[in-house]
A and B are shown apart, each in its own frame.
Chain A
Amino acid sequence: MFLKNTYNEFIKIAAKPRTYISIAAITLLVGIILFAMKVDGPTYISFITASFEQTLSFEGNIMNGNLMAFIILQMLIIQIPLLVALVTGDLISGEAAMGSIRMLLTKPISRTKILLSKYLAGLIYTLLILVWLGIMSVIVGKIMFGEGDLMVLNSDGLVILKYNDVNWRFFSGFGVAFLALTTVATLSIMLSCFSENSIGPIVSTMSVIILFTIIGSLDVPVFDNIRPYLFTTHMAAWRSFFEDPLPLDNIRQSVVVLLTHIAVFLGIALYKFNKKDILS
């Protein structure tokens, strides 16, 4: 019954027009970035490398597909949570607003299974968004700009990664990015259990992300103790895979923090959904 309902949930997600907003938005944004880089990429690159040109000389195809993919990911990974919340924040509250939750919850399937099947469908959708972003940035980027070593500017300096050493980093980076987006999806589903309208959980999710991001970026000592435990601090953990050597402890810590948030959010969602009186 769980898989049958997951299939149902995916039919519902696939039939909603808003689902395709994300795909269209990613396609458009990546298209614009790739077009801009194709037209005026060297100027953009020289702006970044200007400070190193007196001490280093750059040879070969710097503006390659790997760099394009990295730039795109860095730019868009901030916007993707909104696209995820747009669909996952609606999974429970949308049914409550529509009234269909009454019929759904009178079927012979437990509330836990209903919530988990919605959650699984939401995660599949999140994965599809990320895979599409990966196809558009890595594959299309490489087709348009070719292969080459990846030059990454970190806070510690410039890191140059050999072209045959980046694919696994992208793959791992996408894995951690998926974990971060799963945290966002779980947060929005949790908030969705408390709401009876579609917009509330979406706005609340983005508000939490903005609030935590601001707290995390404020260089005020009072926030120093909580900063490492905010999930937003670890949303960009995927970038760690583009450092050399790999900061394994940092990656491990980010994964633990994100997994803990997922477990807590999911636990609250399950508790609330199972206890909830359906009055709508």
Chain B
Amino acid sequence: MEKIIEIKNLTKNYGKFQAVKDVSMQVFKGDVYGFLGPNGAGKSTTIRCMLSLIKPSSGSIKIFDKDLSKNRNEILSKIGCIVEKPDFYKYLSAAKNIEIFGRISGADVSSKNIHKTLEFVGLKGREKDKVSGFSHGMKQRLGIAQTLIHNPDLIILDEPTTGLDPQGIIDIRNLILQLKNEQNKTILLSSHILSEIELIANRMVIINKGVTVVEGEVKTLLNQEELIVVFETDNALRATEILGKEIIAEVLSETHFQAHIHKDEISPINLKLLQNGLQVFGIETKRKLEDYFLKLINA
């Protein structure tokens, strides 16, 4: 698979403080790559290094198989990004802002293309409005328009849903999925919310205190973990007695109990309950995302 981003042993020091230490990652073409970590983990520092906003203390960054330090302009011409939050020229209109950023990105800044891009992010009819009057959600949409105006191959979004209301989060998530599915963009998405990454990304890395904790396929990483499985039966107490001490289970009500088990244990438990004359009406799985995340970053 074609590597789009390859970071090796990236370190950034501010005096004695190590913001990022030996971080490595690989992003492949077509990935929606989740870049996860708690606040202050070093995500933004890593992204700023990738965009040449700050100079790494050591390590190497290759994007599109080229060394960033030697091919900065060529690489950046194929990247669209939002770092932390999109800050625009408030005294200019949405269209003028896109024109300004598009022009130095080498984009077609014709009125038609600008309007088409703003329409794609849901800002049709607001082209001539000054950005000073835009809500946070609208600025995020404008930020995404700014990343797309020059049709980049790689899109880097640093916490794009921070500060948005639930509808805004869903809209941005759908936009990202649309970019992946319809335009086959490679997307690097940083976040401190695991459930958000799980919904969008196919691969991810988790960093904490500037250090890589884990990297790999989202499904594989999350499936290694125990699930909370809620069973609905006709007799929850008897069900837990049948399962015995081998399974850690707790009764929630007369009809419901929950067990901390792996995915491959669900079917045998179901069979055991049926063989013992109990009826199973429903099985609901809940992933302990927060626990998983905390376990990793506290390890």
Contacts and interface: CB of A to CB of B under 8 A. Distances in A.
B88 A100 contact: yes
A102 B53 CA distance: 7
Interface in A97-115: 98-100, 102-110
A103 B55 contact: no
Contact of B83 (A7, A17, A106, A110): A106
B254 interface: no
Interface in B17-40: none
Given A102-B53, A108-B76, A15 B86 contact: no
Contact of A12 (B52, B76, B85, B89): B89
B64 interface: no
Nearest to B80: A106
B103 to A, nearest CB: 5
Contacts of A16: 91
A4 B100 CA distance: 9
Contacts of A106: 51-53, 76, 79, 81, 83
What is the interface residue range for chain A against chain B? 20 to 34
Nearest to A107: B104
Nearest to A11: B100
A15 B89 contact: yes
A195 interface: no
Contact of B54 (A1, A15, A104, A279): A279
Contacts of B73: 108-110
B128 interface: no
A74 interface: no
A109 B92 contact: no
A110 B89 contact: no
B134 interface: no
A12 B103 CA distance: 13
A49 interface: no
B255 to A, nearest CB: 54
A103 B146 contact: yes
Nearest to A98: B87
30 contacts: A5-B103, A5-B104, A7-B103, A8-B103, A8-B104, A11-B96, A15-B91, A15-B92, A17-B91, A98-B87, A99-B84, A99-B85, A100-B89, A102-B83, A102-B87, A103-B83, A103-B88, A103-B146, A106-B76, A106-B83, A107-B101, A107-B104, A108-B72, A108-B75, A108-B106, A109-B73, A110-B73, A277-B48, A277-B55, A278-B54
Given A15-B89, A99-B84, A108-B106, 5 more contacts: A1-B106, A103-B146, A277-B53, A277-B54, A279-B54
Q: Sort A-B residue pairs by CB-CB distance and give the 3 closest, nearest first.
A: A99-B87, A108-B77, A277-B54
